[in-house]
Amino acid sequence: MASDDHQHLPLFETRRARGRIIYRVFAATVFTGICLIWAYRLSYIPRKGEDGRWVWLGLLAAELWFGLYWVVTQALRWNQVYRLTFKDRLSHRYENELPGVDIFVCTADPTIEPPVMVINTVLSVMAYDYPSEKLGIYLSDDGGSQLTFFALLEACKFARYWIPYCKKFNVGPRSPAAYFVSVSGQHDSGLSQDLDAIKKLYEEMEQRIEAATKLGGIPEEASLQHKGFSQWDPYSSPSNHDTVLQILIDGKDPNATDIDGCRLPTLVYLAREKRPQHHHNFKAGSMNALIRVSSKISNGQIILNLDCDMYSNNSQSVRDALCFFMDEENGHEIAFVQFPQNFENVTKNELYGSMRVIGNVEFHGVDGFGGPLYVGTGCFHRRDALCGRKFTKDSKIEWKRDNDHKRLQSTQELEDETRPLASCTYEQNTQWGDQMGLKYGCPVEDVITGLSIQCKGWKSAFFNPEREAFLGVTGTTLPQIIVQHKRWSEGDFQILLSKYSPLWYGFGKISIGLQLGYCSYCLWAPNCLATLYYTIIPSLYLLKGTSLFPQVSSPWFLPFAYVISAKYIYSLLEFMWSGGTILGWWNEQRIWLYKRTTSYLFAFIDTILLKLGFTDSTFIISAKVVDEDVFERYEKEIMEFGTSSPMFILATLGMLNAFCFIGVVKRVIMVDDIYRIYETMPLQILLCGVLVLVNWPLYQGLFLRKDKGKLPSSIAVQSFVLALAVCTSFSVMS
Ligand SMILES: O=c1ccn([C@@H]2O[C@H](COP(=O)(O)OP(=O)(O)O[C@H]3O[C@H](CO)[C@@H](O)[C@H](O)[C@H]3O)[C@@H](O)[C@H]2O)c(=O)[nH]1
Ligand SMILES: [Mn+2]
């Protein structure tokens, strides 16, 4: 075949999802049902002075909200697309002119993020199936920890063995820890000797790092061996220290080779300068420091950002991403390629939920409208777009630039020249954090940055390969999840109200579908209001015997029944198509409820306070390790509650619904006949009953469990008393 023909074949392809028309028809029927529900609420509003007028208006408001929010989320399902890449074409055409790729790994605290985990992530990307001399790996350590530095030094030595091993045996996950788990048990002849040898090296390294962790410091002889340690002075603390910058492997150095004599990727440690009087802007700050520092050292045209807990599980991902950027036809408009966030440590039935539907459904939907959101880890960027460049017709990258120009300075000189770029004061009076790099001042620096890139005319792409590209660590206790979702929903809600709102800033710059897509996430926080109303009010009115929904015999009953069943059956199907289990879906409903009544509520309140100038935004780092007994319960899918204030809200709401349900059962037995209750209040009883069922693990945690993960008895007593007080005073009130 003539290679000319080849030139015209694209490097990636976009396919529309099947069944879109059917879905749209289905959505139209649901929407009709929603309109009928609104019509019902509007036509039966109790008149002024009549009983229950305010309750009714509240329900109207809640249902208007739910209905409109549902409309907004249709943007995530309306126009789904799937991407395919052709890596063989890429290497056929461009193998010798592949661009430099800089990989940024961020870590912030050696206790929450153990150095062994961090270096596993680093090693997994050092071993990418990609020309080593074109890779630059940068570890940003916001913890400024000698321990992390020590671990990276160890990783650097181990890499000389690990990278050739991976390439020789074409190893699956290239994070050593994950790899050893994946091969434990299977003993392949021929492999086993090499395997034993590399495993031994790894374990020895791990022991040295763990010994240092226990010791709380670096062994004397190690700290003398490497000059890098001298950059820490005795007064250094995580929040107050000089820049530490160390090029551990200089990719331009022909002597930096692995045991087979092959070149190694560049490896750099950076702890940017920290001073108490300068705000460091969390991860966004460290990313911006990395962008500048790497521009001096390797200046890759493509940048991959990873959290330290998310290792590469697929050695082909760089090539996948390049299929988008280097496509002759459409590549020049793509600013970033986001991969889904998958987690290694989710249980089978996803006790605390997961990103399953976001990754397998919703992001394919926004991709159809111009591209996914940038959600942090697992995202490849074009350096120029990330630095603030606007899209124009001639945004084509000149890939053929000379990657291998000779450098005149020594590594030491280069370090000294580069260090000032990571100082606290460097950004003063510059565009960094605003028009350049990642934006500051928002707890979801990634989403707001991605939005502004898209508003500059760029597209993005979502790529969800068969073999997961990255695997991370997700929370293993309820409080962790609540804190994380508070940060996310708060950040997203702040964006909606900020000058970069997808509504007004994005207006005319991105498609309406994408605007709505952003809004589905940006409106997470305000969702708490309607949800709280719906979980409290209809249940309480059961106690009074007041019906707030249409009777079974009324025709108005039908739209309610249809919308509820259509919505939930579809959501179950969607969950299962995405690979989830039925129980997983049920758990997801519980987490949905808990997030909305705690995380989103706090996020909503805090955002309002922030807007009024009362608080400052923070970034609480998610824990990546837990105690052994906590982990054991997690594996058994037993919920871990804890003592924090959100638990009190959850417990009180759960108790309230339990009392209301008991109340109605009592009523059936003592006062009314079943038929009348069934005729007048089936939906209300259903709602309350489902809430009780969903809360089952909560009741167990309150009253039945004895382990440490249960709810403390103080919360049990308080929530019991409060819910009982509310219920009784409500029922005696006329
Ligand atoms: O001051 C800080 C705080 C955090 N981090 C790093 O940021 C990453 C994300 O922090 P984590 O606590 O794990 O938050 P997650 O909620 O798991 O992260 C998601 O949400 C964040 C925004 O809220 C994004 O930045 C992340 O990429 C995305 O994976 C981690 O590698 C941290 O080490 C820093 O480098 N400096
Ligand atoms: Mn994380």
Does the pLDDT value for residue 409 go beyond 90? no
Residue 329 pLDDT greater than 80, yes or no: yes
Query: How high is the pLDDT of residue 4?
Result: 45
Per-residue pLDDT tens over the stretch 239-298: 999 999 999 999 988 889 999 999 999 999 999 999 999 999 999 999 999 999 999 999
Ligand 1 pocket member 286 (CB < 6 A): yes
Nearest CA to ligand 1 atom 35: 283
Active site residue 327: no
Amino acid identity for residue 209 in this structure: I
Residue 374 in contact with residue 385, Cβ under 8 Å?
no
Q: Are 524 and 83 in contact (CB under 8 A)?
A: no
Residue 489 lies in a domain: no
- Whether ipTM > 0.90 holds is yes
CATH number for the domain that contains residue 146? 3.90.550.10
Distance, in Å, from the CA atom of 173 to the CA atom of 128, rounded to the nearest integer, reads: 10
521 with 445, same domain?
no
For the annotated binding site, the residues are 113, 142, 283, 307
DSSP strands (E only) in 132-220 = 135-141
* 338 strand-pairing partners: 379, 462
% of the chain at pLDDT higher than 70: 97
* For ligand 1, mutation pick of 287, 305, 336, 377 (most atoms within 8 Å of CB): 377
610 plus 516 within the same structural domain: yes
Question: Do 457 and 602 belong together in one domain?
Answer: no
CB of 108 sitting under 6 A from ligand 1: yes
Centroid of ligand 1 to alpha carbon of 188 (angstroms): 39
End residue of a domain, out of 422, 452, 474: 474
Dump pLDDT digits (tens) for 699-727.
Answer: 999 999 999 999 999 999 999 999 999 99
Q: Residue 117: nearest ligand to its CA?
A: 1
Same domain as 671, residue 563: yes
Residue that terminates a domain, selected from 420, 450, 474: 474
pLDDT value at 671 more than 90: no
622 in ligand 1 pocket by Cβ < 6 Å?
yes
Whether residues 452 and 365 share a domain: the answer is: yes
pLDDT of residue 114: 95
Identify whether residues 71 and 91 lie together within a single domain. Answer: no
Q: Residue 612 CB: number of other CB atoms within 10 A?
A: 8
How far, in Å, CA of 435 to CA of 388, rounded? 6
Sign of CA dihedral 209, 210, 216, 222: negative
Cβ–ligand 1 distance for 621 under 6 Å, the answer: yes
**pLDDT reported for residue 578:** 95
Q: What is the 3-state secondary structure (H, E, C) of 509-531?
A: CECHHHHHHHHHHHCCCCHHHHH
Tell which atom from ligand 1 comes closest to the C-alpha of 305.
Answer: 27
The protein residue whose alpha carbon is closest to atom 7 in ligand 1 is 283
Dist. CA 495–CA 356, nearest whole Å: 24
Protein residue whose Cα sits closest to atom 27 of ligand 1: 376
Q: Do 135 and 180 lie in a common domain? A: yes
Which is nearest to 85 in space by CA: 302, 422, 322, 292? 322
Q: Are residues 373 and 522 in the same domain?
A: no
* Of 103, 104, 106, best ligand 1 pocket probe by most atoms within 8 Å of the beta carbon: 106
**What per-residue confidence (pLDDT) applies to 580?**
96
Spatial neighbors of 408 by CB under 8 A, at least 6 apart, are: none
Asked if residue 578 lies in contact with residue 357, where contact means CB atoms within 8 angstroms, the answer is: yes
Over the stretch 293-312, which tens digit does the pLDDT of each residue have? 999 999 999 999 999 999 99
Among the bound ligands, name the one nearest to the CA of residue 121: 1
Instruction: Determine the pLDDT at residue 5.
Output: 52
Residue of 309, 446, 492, 606 marked active site: 446
**Whose alpha carbon is nearest atom 13 of ligand 1?**
622
Residue 18 domain-assigned (yes or no): no
Q: What is the mean pLDDT of residues 630-650?
A: 93
Q: Which segments are annotated as binding site for UDP-alpha-D-glucose?
A: 113, 142
Q: Which atom of ligand 1 is nearest to the CA of 308?
A: 31
Together in a domain, 532 and 602: yes
Which has the higher per-residue pLDDT, 168 or 223? 168
Q: What spacing in Å lies between the alpha carbon of 187 and ligand 2's midpoint?
A: 33
Q: What is the mean pLDDT of residues 203-226?
A: 90
pTM: 0.95
Decide if 559 is inside a domain: yes
Find out whether the beta carbon of 282 lies less than 6 Å from any atom of ligand 1.
yes
Q: Report residue 403's pLDDT band, with 50, 70 and 90 as the boundaries.
A: low
Query: Using a 6 Å cutoff on CB, does residue 308 contact ligand 1?
Result: yes
Tell me if 99 is assigned to some domain.
yes
Residue 15 lies in a domain: no
pLDDT tens digits along 601-622: 999 999 999 999 887 778 889 9
In this prediction, residue 442 carries a pLDDT of 94
Which amino acid residue places its CA nearest to atom 2 of ligand 1?
Answer: 282
Q: Is 141 in the pocket of ligand 1 (CB under 6 A)?
A: no
Average pLDDT value for residue range 123-131: 97
Cα separation, 223 vs 213, whole angstroms: 14
Residue 1 lies in a domain: no
272 Cβ below 6 A of ligand 1: no
- Rounded to the nearest whole angstrom, what is the distance from the C-alpha of residue 64 to the centroid of ligand 1? 35
Known active-site residue 672: no
Same domain assignment for residues 704 and 566:
yes
DSSP-derived secondary structure for 685-707: HHHHHHHHHHTHHHHIIIII--S
**Same domain, yes or no: 569 and 547:** yes
Same domain, 367 and 438: yes
Give the residue from 421, 446, 474 where a domain finishes.
Answer: 474
Domain of residue 690 covers: 24-75+511-733
Choosing from 102, 109, 141, 142, which is the catalytic residue? Answer: 142
497 within a domain of the structure (yes/no) = no
- Whole-number mean pLDDT of the chain? 93
Percent of the chain with pLDDT over 90: 84
41 Cβ closer than 6 Å to some ligand 1 atom: no
Atom of ligand 1 nearest to the CA of 285: 36
Please, what is the angle between helix 582-594 and helix 682-694, to 10°? 100
Question: Is 494 inside any structural domain?
Answer: no
2 has a pLDDT exceeding 80? no
Q: Output 734 or 258, whichever has higher pLDDT.
A: 258
In this structure, the number of other CB atoms found within 10 A of the CB of residue 399 comes to: 15
Query: Which atom in ligand 1 lies closest to the alpha carbon of residue 474?
Result: 17
Number of structural domains the chain divides into: 2
pLDDT band at 367 (very low <50, low <70, confident <90, very high): very high
CA–CA distance from 579 to each of 277, 362, 568, 678 (Å)? 49, 14, 17, 37
